Amino acid sequence: MTVASPPSSALYDVPGPKAAARHRMYGWIALLAIAALLGWIVYMLFHTDQFTYQKWMPFEYRGVQELLLRGLRNTLEAFGWTVLFALPFGALFAAGRLSDHRAVRWVSTVVVEFFRAMPVLVMIFFIFIALQVEPLWALVAGLTLYNGSVLAEVFRAGVLAVPKGQKEAAFALGMRKTQVMAYVLVPQANRAMLPAIISQLVVALKDTSLGFLITFEEFLHAGKLIATNLDYDLPFIPVVMVIAPVYIGMCLALSWLAHWLERRGRRSPKVRGGAPVAAADAPTGLPPEAGR
C-alpha cells in the first residue's frame, strides 16, 4: 500500500514540521504586535478624552445630522457625475490612441498625457477660478479630466493585452475593425481591466474630498465645519471616527460591485475560455464565406 505524498508546489517547497512551527510563532508574534498597537491607540483615545459626552454631543443635533447627510449626498452626486463622464472620456481617447490614423493617435496621446500629468487640484482650481464655473461642476470637470485620462490608459492596455491571434482570427472571419473591437477584444479585455477600473473609481471617490477647497459642501467639508466648532470643544477625532467608516464602506461597496461584475462576466456567452467569437455568433453583415 503506497502512501500519498504531500502536495508540492513548483514555486516553493512545502514547509516541514519545524518550518511550520516557526511560521506559527511568527504569526502569533505579529498578532500580538497588532493587538498591542490597537490597545495603545484605544488607550490614547481614552487618555485624551475623545469619548466624552461633550465631544460626541454634536451628533445628537438634527442640524448636524442634516449637514452630514447633505454633505454625503453632494459627495455621491459629484462622484456619480464623474463616473458618468470619465468612463466615456476614457473609452473615447483609448480608441483614439488605438486608431490607425496618425493624427488621431497624436492628438489623443497629447490630451491623455497632459491631463494625466497635471495635478488634479490645479485643474480644479483653474476651472473654478479662471473659468468661473460653479463648485460642483469645477470639481466634476477636474476629476473627469484626470481620472478619464488614467482610464484611457487602462482601456488601451487592456485591449493590447489580448493575444494578437484573437484579432487576426477575427479579421480572417471578415469582421471590420469596429466589430473586432466590440465583439472580440473588449469582451476579453474586460476581465483584465475591471480591477484597475474599480481602483481608479475608488480614487475618484476619495478625491471628491478636494471639493472643500473650493467651498463645495461635500462630506469632508461638512465634517470640517463640525470639527472646527469651538462650541463643541473641537471634536476632530469623533468626526474622523464618523466620516472614515462611511468612506471605507463606500470603497468596499465598489469592490463588491467589481467582484459581482467579474462573476457575471464569467458567465457571459460572449467569451468562452478566451476563444474568439464563433462564426455562428458573429454579427450580421459578414460575407457568407466568413462562416466557412
pLDDT in tens, 43-74: 888 888 888 888 888 888 888 899 999 999 99
Q: Are 104 and 163 in contact (CB under 8 A)?
A: no
- What does the pLDDT read at residue 268? 56
Tens-digit pLDDT profile for residues 223-275? 888 888 767 777 888 898 999 999 999 988 988 887 787 777 666 554 444 44
Look up the pTM and report it: 0.76
The DSSP line for 212-281 is GGGT---HHHHHHHHHT-GGGT--HHHHHHHHHHHHHHHHHHHHHHHHHHHHHHHT-TT-BTTBPPPGGG
DSSP 150: H
**Structural domains of the chain ordered from first start:** 53-268 (1.10.3720.10)
- What does the pLDDT read at residue 235? 83
Largest CA distance in the chain: 83
Tens-digit pLDDT profile for residues 90-136? 999 998 998 888 999 999 999 999 999 999 999 999 999 999 999 99
Tens-digit pLDDT profile for residues 81-100? 999 999 999 999 998 998 88
- What does the pLDDT read at residue 12? 59
Q: Which residues partner with 272 through β-bridges?
A: 275
In this prediction, what percent of the chain has a pLDDT beyond 90? 39
Number of other residues whose CB lies within 10 A of the CB of residue 227: 19
Average pLDDT over residues 1-9: 49
Across all residues in the chain, what is the average pLDDT?
Answer: 82
In this prediction, what percent of the chain has a pLDDT beyond 70? 85
pLDDT band at 276 (very low <50, low <70, confident <90, very high): very low
Q: What is the 3-state secondary structure (H, E, C) of 76-92?
A: HHHHHHHHHHHHHHHHH
258 vs 266: CA distance, rounded Å = 12
